[in-house]
Copies of this chain bind each other. A is one copy, B any other.
Amino acid sequence: MKIRNVHPSDYPPIIAHLDDWWGGRKMSSMLPRLFFEHFSDTSYIIEKNGQIVAFLIGFLSKSQPKESYIHFVGVHPQHRHCGYGRLLYERFFDTVRQDQRSVVRCVTSPINTTSIAFHIHMGFQIEPGEAILDGVAYDPDHDGPGEHRVRFIRQV
């Protein structure tokens, strides 16, 4: 198992199977190629036996000098519960600290209870929101009409 930076050539093999990784949910429109071409130095891949088993797409905010953002994380369905998500997040946290930054932000859907539990386990706090689902505050229409999001923040 090794962790390395994303490379633009990783995009085709990842995007071809991305929706399958989410059980058929249409996710690929959220992940255009630009992130692999222009933010590869803050994005990471885990390979096992030459196969991509997990990846994280993150960047350092340009407008907010102390902030960073994790846009997308995927773990191959057959390689979950191995700690790969935690490993990727911790690698990204290191990158954020090395750039003298202190804040990591990300969002997830309020119906994605697995993701919400993961982020709380990873030390994120949930930001206030104008609505609540199952006790979790979220921001309605955060990413467009009907695209509600729980907003996470973590100091690193």
Contact = CB atoms under 8 A, between A and B. Distances in A.
**Interface majority SS (helix, strand, loop, mixed), chain A:** mixed
B38 A62 contact: yes
Contacts of A145: 15-16, 19, 28
Contact of A39 (B16, B18, B33, B62): B62
Contacts of A12: 141
Interface in A6-34: 12, 15-16, 18-19, 28-34
Interface string A56-89: 0001111110010101000000000000000000
A147 interface: yes
A62 B37 CA distance: 9
Given A60-B62, A62-B41, A62-B60, A34 B144 contact: no
